[in-house]
Amino acid sequence: MNETIRKAVEDHARLPVPVASLADGDDLYQAGMTSHASVNVMLALEDAFDTEFPDRMLKRSVFESIASIEAALSELQAEAVS
Amino acid sequence: MSIAVDREQELLAGVRAIARDVAAVHADDVDRAARFPAETIDALRAVGALSAPVPETLGGGGVSVGVIAECCHELGRSCAATAMVFAMHHIQLLTIVRHLEPGGWFEAYLHRQVTEGRLIASVTSEVGTGGDMARSIAAVTPAEGGLMSFEKQAPTVSYGAYADDLLTTLRRAPQSEPGDQVAALTHADQHSLEPTGTWDVLGMRGTCSPGAVVRARFGAEQVLGTPFAKVAAESMVPLSHILWSHLWLGIAEDAFERARAFVKAAAKRTPGVMPPAAQRLARLSGEVALLRGLVGSGLRDFEAYAEGPAREELSTMSMALRFNNLKIAASEQTRDVCFGALDVCGIMGFKNDTPFSVGRHLRDALSAPLMIANERIQQTNAALLLIAKEV
């Protein structure tokens, strides 16, 4: 999951630095992701994981780091199983 | 009635009296001369209206956003430029109050606000960012003596020359990305504004908003601790759209009142014959009601999430869409109501010196779709709609 998230961020967040240089907990917005670019990251993630983020998750804090995205996706997958 | 409610009613009564006795009296002169409405702002300061939302624990009135919005509405009916200055001041003040850190510099500042009623202006837009408030070029930059500094090219600074303090958005540090922003509050003796243009405009002339190069030197503690992105989503953006839309409603209502007075005067002249403009007026009353509903529901949406853990909901995409739509719809509806009032009043509304003149209302209302351009907001909404579900 971590790798797929990193690929989506690499392809769509338009960061001035390579994603490999970021730790999981680093702030993507501080690293240069704009809110417009974050929408494209969300679309790519929904596509890659065949899921849809509910509205309650569509906020800045959920997409601010690779770790927070991973937590949200894990929560969605757990919900889908149960 | 509780003490807080008493205080809010007293404030509203005071602001209503100032709107009627001071703002309305000077509105045409403020507009014609494109001058700052100093007498009205002084009167508002004298009744404590400038510091009203400072929490009671810091010596203030703890007045709610709803009451401040109602004050904007009342002032908007009398002098839109005054109402806009009042609204913009409170957007900054409420933002500071909502993102206060206990024991910090801003607490002491709010104490000072209660006794001094300091007028706060904002420097959010910047030359070179294409109107995107979520990006900055100017940065908080270390200066000698342990101080901080910045230099920012602002395309407009509303009433900057008359403000006691400026709240300026900046990059967090010289090496920060454009979106990594903070807001810094500086006092008039810590900053300078070098005008880069004039303010000879169609409407909202009394806001005196020419461009400026703003330079400041200040303490690091004068930077709000919360990242600006959070400040913007939870406070500054929704508050702007709520307070602006309330004063726009005031403009529209006063234009409508003039149209109603025009039709009534015509009806009195020809008893038993319905004036030709009466039907147009009837249709216009529905448009005003629509605007009132829109503005009221925007405030209720904010109040439902304003405090506590629910507050983070304000940064969801669906809430951003809601407040963006409030701004777009209220600004265009206000303009349309003012045009409608001109249609009703005809030449008597077109002339600038009759009791039915609506020229100032119309010109002031034309600023509404431009203040954070609706086109830009639609672009943002288009992107949000690709992913948001419930809107």
- What are the DSSP calls for B130-195, one per residue? TT-TT--SSB-EE-GGG-EEEEEEES--TTGGG-SEEEEEEESSTTS-TT-EEEEEEETTTEEEEE
Structure confidence by residue, pLDDT tens digits, B177-223: 999 999 999 999 999 999 999 999 999 999 999 999 999 999 999 99
Inform me whether the C-beta atom of residue B176 falls under 8 Å from chain A C-beta atoms.
Answer: yes
Is residue B216 within a helix (H) or strand (E), and if so which, with residue range?
Answer: strand B212-218
Q: A52 contacts in B (CB within 8 Å)?
A: 389
* Helices and strands (H, E) in chain B, number of each type: 13, 7
Q: Give A33 to chain B, closest Cα distance, Å.
A: 8
Q: Does A54 touch chain B (CB under 8 A)?
A: yes
How far apart CA B358 and CA B346 sit, in angstroms, is 10
pTM for the full model? 0.95
User: Each residue's pLDDT tens digit in chain B (391 positions)?
Assistant: 466 778 899 999 999 999 999 999 999 999 999 999 999 999 999 999 999 999 999 999 999 999 999 999 999 999 999 999 999 999 999 999 999 999 999 999 999 999 999 999 999 999 999 888 999 999 999 999 999 999 999 999 999 999 999 999 999 999 999 999 999 999 999 999 999 999 999 999 999 999 999 999 999 999 999 999 999 999 999 999 999 999 999 999 999 999 999 999 999 999 999 999 999 999 999 999 999 999 999 999 999 999 888 898 998 999 999 999 999 999 999 999 999 999 999 999 999 999 999 999 999 999 999 999 999 999 999 999 999 987 7
Residue B223 is classified by DSSP as B
Q: How far is CA B63 from CA B5, B8, B10, B356, B371, in A?
A: 9, 6, 11, 35, 26
The answer for residues whose C-beta is within 8 angstroms of residue B353's C-beta and 6 or more apart is none
Write down the pLDDT at residue B69. Answer: 98
Q: How far apart are CA B151 and CA B216, in angstroms?
A: 7
User: B317–A36: do the CB atoms touch at under 8 Å?
Assistant: no
CB contact under 8 A, B318 and A31: no
Q: What is the pLDDT of residue B2?
A: 65
- Pick the closest to residue B247 from B160, B97, B371 (CA basis): B371
Does residue A29 belong to the interface with chain B, where contact is any CB pair within 8 Å? yes
Residue-by-residue DSSP string for B260-305 = HHHHHHHHHHSTTS--TTHHHHHHHHHHHHHHHHHHHHHHHHHHHH
CB-based contact, A53 to chain B, within 8 Å:
yes
User: What is the domain count for chain A?
Assistant: 1
Q: Residue B108 in contact with residue B115, Cβ under 8 Å? A: no
Closest CB from B177, B179, B317 relative to A58: B317
Task: State the virtual CA torsion across B99, B102, B104, B108 in degrees, nearest 10.
Answer: 90
pLDDT tens digits, one per residue of B25-43: 999 999 999 999 999 999 9
B358 interfacial to chain A (CB closer than 8 Å): no
Nearest to B386 among A39, A59, A61 (CB): A39
Radius of gyration of chain A (CA): 12
Q: Hey, are the CB atoms on A34 and B179 less than 8 Å from each other? A: yes
Could you read off the pLDDT of B142-159 as tens digits, one per residue?
999 999 999 999 999 999
Structure tokens at B365: 């209302």
Two tokens, residue A10: 């690499």
Report the CATH number that the domain containing residue A34 is assigned in CATH.
1.10.1200.10
On whether the CB atoms of residues B224 and B263 are closer than 8 A, the answer is no
Q: Is residue B377 less than 8 Å (CB to CB) from chain A?
A: no
Cα angle: B301, vertex B184, B55; to 5 degrees = 50
- List, in order of start, the domains of chain B with CATH numbers: 3-118 (1.10.540.10), 121-222 (2.40.110.10), 228-385 (1.20.140.10)
Could you say which of B177, B229, B316 has the minimum Cβ distance to residue A32? Answer: B177
A32 with B179: Cβ contact below 8 A: yes
Domain interval for residue A44? 2-81
CA distance A57 to chain B (A): 7
Other beta carbons within 10 Å of B320: 25
Compute the distance between CA of residue B243 and CA of residue B257 in angstroms, rounded to an integer: 21
B270 CB burial (10 A radius; 0-12, 13-18, 19+): exposed
Asked if B180 lies within 8 A of A33 by C-beta distance, the reply is no
Decide if B310 touches A, using CB distance below 8 A: no
DSSP assigned state of A63: G
* Record: contact B390-A55, CB cut-off 8 A: yes
- B135–A34 C-beta distance less than 8 A: yes
B261, B275 contact by CB (below 8 A) = no
